[in-house]
Structures are given as structure tokens and as C-alpha cells.
Amino acid sequence: MNVAIVGGTGFIGRNIAPILADNGHTVTILTRNQRAASAVVGGTIHVRDWDPSDGRSLEQTFQGQDAVINLAGAPIAEGRWTSSRKDVLRASRIETTRTIVTALSGLPEPVRPKILINASGIGFYGLETADEVDETQRPGTGFLADLCVEWEREAFKAMDYGIRTVCLRISMVLGKDGGALQKMLLPFKLFLGGPIGTGTQPVSWIHVEDLGRLVAAILEQPAFKGAVNAASPHPVTMKEFCRQLGRALGRPSWLPVPAMALQIGLGELSTLLTHGQAVIPLVAQQLGFTFTYPDLESAFSAILGKGR
């Protein structure tokens, strides 16, 4: 397929674009950052400039593409959730998705992409879920849940134009060259690692290679539609996550980070770390997707086993 990726220069995009190319797809990354795009260019991966406010230009870019993957969005965990920051988080997701769907709707059917895969997050389920949840669960409450609901609502409008639409509810993504894991390594390497808060909150995660393989499966299997959880089938507690990380690094996991300290330093953003969701990838499992890294031990071994 010809696949256009919006937001393809971030941690996730940099990793899944080569996976899609290796599967035989021709990938075009739409970016405002040519320098960042240079990290993934090569083979059947191409780069094109885009202006999020220029819907007409986007129409021309999408013409002849078979699929569009939208990963655009300002980083959720960089800075306190002030009113202005929340506006940035909303606009970078909701308005960008609206612009993309509008551009898709303006194309005649013969040249209109047939698939839209739009990023979302497991924050959809809220931050107070103690039980395991899957795609049948109703949305939770709070800023992240409301954001994901609005985000997905804009994406699913593409279905009105005959476009198969998948909202990928992405959990914590683990990989070698970015993401949340890289921010956690330094304290452990300094023998200062440990669980956040009580350590009992659930952590849902996915290896970035499995995420790329899941995206490829969604592109290639028409049965995928609607919401799809991008999470390993084995969520763990924060305490177990940190224990496994310490073990993989050969470091102790003994110094907990008090929830109150996070609340003082991060404000509402701290809830992202002190609460969690135990997310099960029901749809992916029902459609036969298998995870190369279903458990933390195998994931950490692949990421940290060499050159750590």
C-alpha cells in the first residue's frame, strides 16, 4: 500500500515507518521538521512538507494514498497541565484530526484513501480503573478521558465517507531510542530507581516493534475497525514494572517516589503516573494478532540486553 504518516518523526513514527516499509508498503512521512525526518528516510520511505492549516495542500498529498496514519499530537507528559497547555494538547490532536478528515472528505472516491488509523490513548478509560478493561469499556472521566473521546469522535467522522477507521488506544510504548522508558533509566542506573506512589497502580505497555506489527496488521486485515487497544496482554503493577526494570539493568528498585512530591511538582499531570489502567488487547487477540514481546521480561531483554 501507499501509506501517509502524519506525525511520523516522533518516537512511534520513527519506529513503525521502517516496519511498514519492510512489509512492502511505500511510506510517506508528512512533517514540518525535515531534520527529524532524516532519521527515518531511506528505501521506500519518503518525506513531504505539510502545513496543518493548509487543508487544500493536504488533499493533494492524500490523493492516491491507500491509507493515512495520524500520530500527530503534542507530548502529553512534557510540562504541567495548565489551561494553556491543555489547549495545546487538544488543538494538536482534535484540530489536526479534524483537518485530516476534512481533507479526506474533499477527495473523490476513486483517489480517496480507504483506511484511517488515528492515534488515541488508553487514557480513554480514565485514571481510576482497578479492573482489567478492553475495547467494550465505556470512557472514564477526567481530562485525558475527555480528550480521547473528543479525539476519537473527530476521527470516526471519516467513516461517513466510506473510510475504514481505527482508533488505536496506545499504552506506554517501550523502545530503545525514546519514549517513557528512556526517562526512567537514569535513576535506576544511579541506584535511585523505584516505584511511583503506592506502586499498586496498573501499568499497561507495549513494545514498539509489536506496535509497528499491529499497525501493519490493521492495514492488511479489513476486520480491524473501530477502537483497538495497543497494549501487551500482560499489564503489571508499577511495583512489578520497576522490579523487572531494575532486574534487567542489574540495579535495585528500592526508592519509591512519593505521590505527594509528584503532586507538588507536576500538579494534575502527576495523575498520569500515580494512577493507571490494566488494558487488555481484546480486539487484536480475537483477530489472531500475536505479540513478539507479550511480557516485560522479553521486552526488557530485547531493549536492554545489549549495549545498555
C-alpha cell at 225: 475497525
pLDDT higher than threshold 70 for residue 236: yes
88-102, 129-143, 285-299: range with lowest mean pLDDT: 129-143
Domain interval for residue 6: 2-173+206-230
Q: How confident is the model at residue 39 (pLDDT cuts 50, 70, 90)?
A: low
Note the pLDDT of residue 50: 78
Neighbouring C-alpha atoms within 13 Å toward the C-beta of 99: 19
Q: What's the structural domain count of the chain?
A: 1
78 by Cβ neighbours in 10 Å (0-12 / 13-18 / 19+) ranks as exposed
Would 41 be classed as within a structural domain? yes
pLDDT at 104 over 90: yes
Examine residue 194 and state whether it is found in any structural domain, yes or no: no
Asked if residue 242 is part of any domain, the answer here is no
Establish if 305 belongs to a structural domain.
no
For residue 247, give the H/E element and its range: helix 238-249
pLDDT level of residue 162 (50, 70, 90 thresholds): very high
In a domain, 50, yes or no: yes
Question: Would you report the helix, strand and coil content of the chain in percent, each value rounded to 5?
Answer: 45, 20, 35
Decide if pLDDT at 206 tops 70. Answer: yes
Among 153-162, 211-220, 241-250, 270-279, the minimum mean pLDDT is found in 270-279
| pLDDT of 60 strictly over 50 | yes
Q: Which of 24-38, 70-84, 109-123, 219-233 has the lowest mean pLDDT?
A: 24-38
In a domain, 28, yes or no: yes
- Which three cell numbers mark 205? 505497555
Mean pLDDT taken over the chain? 89
The arithmetic mean of pLDDT across residues 240-255, rounded, is 90
pLDDT of residue 307: 41
Residue 65 has a CB neighbour count (10 Å cut-off) of 20
Partners of residue 236 on adjacent β-strands? 203
Domain at 33, CATH number: 3.40.50.720
Q: How far from chain centre, in Å, is Cα 193?
A: 25
Range 230-269 burial, b when 16+ CB lie within 10 A, else e: bbbbbbbbbbbbbbbbbebbebebeebbebeebbeebeeb
**Res. 255: pLDDT tops 60:** yes
For residue 183, pLDDT beyond 50: yes
178 found inside a domain: no
Q: pLDDT higher for 266 or 50? A: 50
Query: Whole-angstrom Cα distance, residue 111 to residue 63?
Result: 5
Residue 34 lies in a domain: yes
Q: CB burial class (10 A; 0-12, 13-18, 19+) of residue 102?
A: middle
Of 167, 180, 153, 152, residue with least CA distance to 245: 180
**Region 225-236: what's the mean pLDDT?**
97
